[in-house]
Amino acid sequence: MHEADHVLVERARAGDSEAFEGLVRRHLRAAHAVALSVLGEPSDAEDVCQDAFVSALEQLDTVQPEKFAPWLLRIVRNRAISVHRQHQVRRAMPLEWANGARGRDDPAADADRSALRDRLTKAMEPLSAKQREVLLLHDLEGWKHREIGELLGMKEGTVRYTLFEARRAVRARLGAESNKET
């Protein structure tokens, strides 16, 4: 059974490095998705995540233990925005994070996944950073509308509408691309 975040936070505050490692393992994918949604570059997102986790460890005494995840992702998001401003990273978002889901020595499946990743990347290009963030957190990471709203400072209804609009835009782009191929 997994310990709740607030228990791990309390253990980490008491000096238990394994507890903080557990928090990192639990929230790394979501943190990476948030950073990637802002930056669009996997290597930049990895750097931001690393910096954010170091910052979170240094500031661990300031967080309400039960609010660790939204607090951490706010740190990630703010750092990603700062890096984006500094480096003027292009807004297209490659989905290279999907490389970890490779098939077992199946070149055809790998080629299909690569083609799908490319199609999704193109389909997500016109989305705003906030739309990408909502879409990735909800559909990839399984976050609830309320949780996303707390993280992004949005009302739950606004999150639902943003997700709806993002999905509609992606579907439209994918549909338009399919129509070109036929």
Q: What is the DSSP string of the chain?
A: -PPPHHHHHHHHHTT-HHHHHHHHHHHHHHHHHHHHHHH--HHHHHHHHHHHHHHHHHTGGGS-GGGHHHHHHHHHHHHHHHHHHHHT--S----GGGGGG--SS-HHHHHHHHHHHHHHHHHHTTS-HHHHHHHIIIIIT---HHHHHHHHT--HHHHHHHHHHHHHHHHHHHHHHHHHH-
Under the phi-then-psi rule, with left for phi > 0, alpha for psi from -120 to 50, and beta for the rest, what region is 105?
Answer: left
Lowest mean pLDDT among 22-26, 159-163, 178-182: 178-182
Mean pLDDT of 34-60: 90
At residue 181 the predicted structure's pLDDT band, cuts being 50, 70 and 90, is low
Find the range with the poorest average confidence among 36-40, 61-65, 175-179.
175-179
Q: Return the pLDDT at 102.
A: 47
Q: What are the structural domains of the chain?
A: 5-87 (1.10.1740.10), 104-181 (1.10.10.10)
Q: In angstroms, what is the C-alpha Rg of the chain?
A: 18
Q: 35 and 48 in contact (C-beta within 8 Å)?
A: yes
pLDDT value at position 43?
A: 86
Q: What is the pTM of this model?
A: 0.61
Residue 81: pLDDT over 60: yes
Structure tokens at 180: 């070109």
* pLDDT number for residue 40: 81
* Band of residue 178 on the pLDDT scale cut at 50, 70, 90: low
* CA distance linking residue 134 with residue 130, whole number of Å: 6
Lowest mean pLDDT among 8-17, 39-48, 99-108, 172-181: 99-108
What sign has the CA pseudo-torsion 11, 16, 18, 23? Answer: positive
Q: Summarize pLDDT for 84-141 with one digit per residue, the tens.
A: 887 653 444 444 444 444 445 677 777 777 777 777 777 888 888 889 888 888 887 7
CA–CA–CA angle 63, 78, 75 (5° rounding) = 25
pLDDT in tens, 137-148: 888 778 889 888
pLDDT at position 152 over 80: yes
Q: What is the pLDDT of residue 55?
A: 93
**How far, in Å, CA of 163 to CA of 152, rounded?**
13
The predicted structure's pLDDT at residue 89: 36
